[in-house]
Amino acid sequence: MKILVVGGGGREHAILSALKKSPKVSELHCAPGNGGIYEIAACHNVKATDIDGMTALARELAADYVFVAPDDPLTLGMVDALEAAGIKAFGPRANAAIIEGSKVFSKSFMKRHGIPTAAYETFSDAESAIAYIKAQNSYPAVIKCDGLALGKGVIIAQDFAEAREAVVSILENAKFGASGREIVVEEYLDGVEATVLAFTDGKVVIPMPASVDHKRALDNDEGLNTGGMGVICPAPYYTAEIAAECMKSIFEPTVRGLADEGRAFKGCLYFGLMLTEGGVKVIEYNCRFGDPETQAVLPLLETDLFEIMTAVIDEKLAQLPIKWSDKSSACVVMASGGYPEKYDTGFEIGGLENVTGAVVYHAGTANNEQRATDSGQCKYVTSGGRVLGITALGGSLDEALETAYREVAKINFDGAFYRKDIGRKIKM
Ligand code: AMP
Ligand code: GLY
């Protein structure tokens, strides 16, 4: 089977690495890919959001399947376009991907189906939003853009002044463009977070082991929000009891609710959860695998990902047992100095050849094989904010973390930084 994976980050590198293990997969392609992906798949210069370009590429390659990994092509309808062209695709159609694409939709969806989430109101004019925040008089106040905003559309305002500034910047000054035409103002939830990725074919839902992302740039959860600086899996505090509660009150009602509304979701559904004293609540849905969660979760998968992908597409997930390793995994992200704000790229990455106990997933790297051959110089250079994700497995979380950090220390590039405390607060 010939598979084309859409995207070019650490998540896609982890997905391709899992697909590569399948005896049924004979050819892997990726667009646009990155330096590390280039080693295991043929990379094509088509943007992940270029729906016509990607459909044409899939046709030209005669790909048997296209795996659409990132949020934006999914919400833009790439799966719909591929299906219309007669090409099988993994991922939700646009009418289901809206669960991530519009927070106004996802909040009202949860209300309609009695799925626990933070109390909220939606607004499209600043004056009413500000009046509401003033009347609530409860801080922190959480303000969210309706649409996709590269993970930056959530503001946790500590006081009224900050909340007002956020509302004005989004609704009046269009800081996030059309994504911020509407906002959600919601209750602040106190608790610990967990991510649950789940396979679903629109009928059954099969959760993967829960993981914990670390979103802030710096140790002790300081600094700016990022795409994610490290992950551990499984989340030790996500007990079997909590898993059963989530299945009953969140996962099944979500999949059933979407199907009942004519929006059957097929693909990987991401549940961002807050474990509060009052039970588990949904912080957000995403319509895809998480990044970097995937880099910690998929290495624990023992079932063939290709088999799962086809079972999802063919709506036969109920018949497929899915097995997981009972090991723990830890993924530490190495980022470019300055990320998530301004950073430089093009720095050589050294020491990769010394990594023996971990898998290195490439996120923001470029491959300069020609230069390497000509001059013996390093083959990989940095090309993005998050550069690498180093994942180690272990018999315990401690062991996985120890190995991951030992291997991270062998890798270097100018300005490299990483959090030193991934998983530390979480250990039980
Ligand atoms: P989101 O983009 O919705 O995942 O939000 C980004 C981060 O903001 C989440 O991972 C949480 O840490 C935090 N967050 C979002 N909504 C809330 C909330 N209602 N209460 C507390 N924290 C929140
Ligand atoms: N790691 C958070 C996300 O993928 O949205």
321-334: pLDDT as tens digits: 999 999 999 999 99
| Low-confidence winner among 55-69, 109-123, 172-186, 347-361 (lowest mean pLDDT) | 172-186
Could you say which DSSP state residue 119 is in?
Answer: -
Band the pLDDT of 247: cuts 50, 70, 90: very high
Q: Ligand 2, atom 5: nearest CA belongs to which residue?
A: 290
What pLDDT sits at residue 225? 87
What pLDDT sits at residue 377? 61
Please state the rounded mean pLDDT for residues 9-34: 97
| CB distance 100 to 106 below 8 Å | yes
Band the pLDDT of 378: cuts 50, 70, 90: low
What pLDDT sits at residue 373? 57
Give the residue with greater pLDDT, 180 vs 82: 82
Q: Ligand 2, atom 4: nearest CA belongs to which residue?
A: 290
188 token code pair? 């602040």
The number of beta carbons lying within 10 Å of the beta carbon of residue 255 is: 21
Q: Ligand 1 centre and the CA of 358: distance in Å?
A: 30
Q: Is the pLDDT of residue 152 over 80?
A: no
CA-118 nearest atom, ligand 1: 19
Q: Ligand 2 centre and the CA of 11: distance in Å?
A: 10
Q: Ligand 2 centre and the CA of 370: distance in Å?
A: 34
Q: Ligand 1 centre and the CA of 229: distance in Å?
A: 16
What pLDDT sits at residue 149? 82
How many whole angstroms from its chain centre is CA 29?
A: 21
Query: Per DSSP, which regions of 243-293 are E strands?
Result: 267-276, 279-286
Q: Is the pLDDT of residue 102 over 90?
A: yes
State the ligand closest to the CA atom of 293: 2
Q: Is 291 in the pocket of ligand 2 (CB under 6 A)?
A: yes
Band the pLDDT of 174: cuts 50, 70, 90: confident
What pLDDT sits at residue 425? 82
What pLDDT sits at residue 26? 97
Phi, psi (deg, nearest 5) at residue 98 = -60, -20
Q: Which residues contact 109 (CB under 8 A, 6 or more apart)?
A: 99, 115, 257, 258, 261
| CB distance 31 to 43 below 8 Å | yes
Q: Ligand 1 centre and the CA of 46: distance in Å?
A: 32
| 3-class DSSP assignment, residue 364 | coil
| CB distance 45 to 32 below 8 Å | yes
Place of tokens 């996120």: 363
| CB distance 211 to 372 below 8 Å | no
What pLDDT sits at residue 370? 55
Q: Is the pLDDT of residue 375 over 90?
A: no
What pLDDT sits at residue 372? 55
Q: Is the pLDDT of residue 266 over 80?
A: yes
**Amino acid at site 210:** A
What pLDDT sits at residue 376? 58
What pLDDT sits at residue 20? 98
Which residue out of 154, 197, 270, 273 has the highest number of ligand 1 atoms within 8 Å of its CB and is therefore the one to mutate? 154
The distance in angstroms from the start CA to the end CA of the chain is 43
Q: Ligand 2 centre and the CA of 289: distance in Å?
A: 8
d(C-alpha 160, C-alpha 139), whole Å: 8
Please state the rounded mean pLDDT for residues 337-355: 94
Band the pLDDT of 374: cuts 50, 70, 90: low
Q: Is the pLDDT of residue 82 over 60?
A: yes
Q: Is the pLDDT of residue 282 over 90?
A: yes
Query: What average pLDDT does the chain have?
Result: 95
What pLDDT sits at residue 427? 52
**Amino acid at site 368:** N
| Low-confidence winner among 64-78, 87-101, 171-185, 379-393 (lowest mean pLDDT) | 171-185
388 token code pair? 């690498």
CA-286 nearest atom, ligand 2: 5
| CB distance 66 to 98 below 8 Å | no
Please state the rounded mean pLDDT for residues 140-156: 88
Q: Ligand 1, atom 5: nearest CA belongs to which residue?
A: 154
Which residue out of 144, 213, 285 has the highest number of ligand 2 atoms within 8 Å of its CB and is therefore the one to mutate? 213
d(C-alpha 313, C-alpha 99), whole Å: 19
Percent of the chain predicted with pLDDT > 70: 97
State the ligand closest to the CA atom of 148: 1
d(C-alpha 63, C-alpha 86), whole Å: 11
Q: Ligand 2 centre and the CA of 409: distance in Å?
A: 25
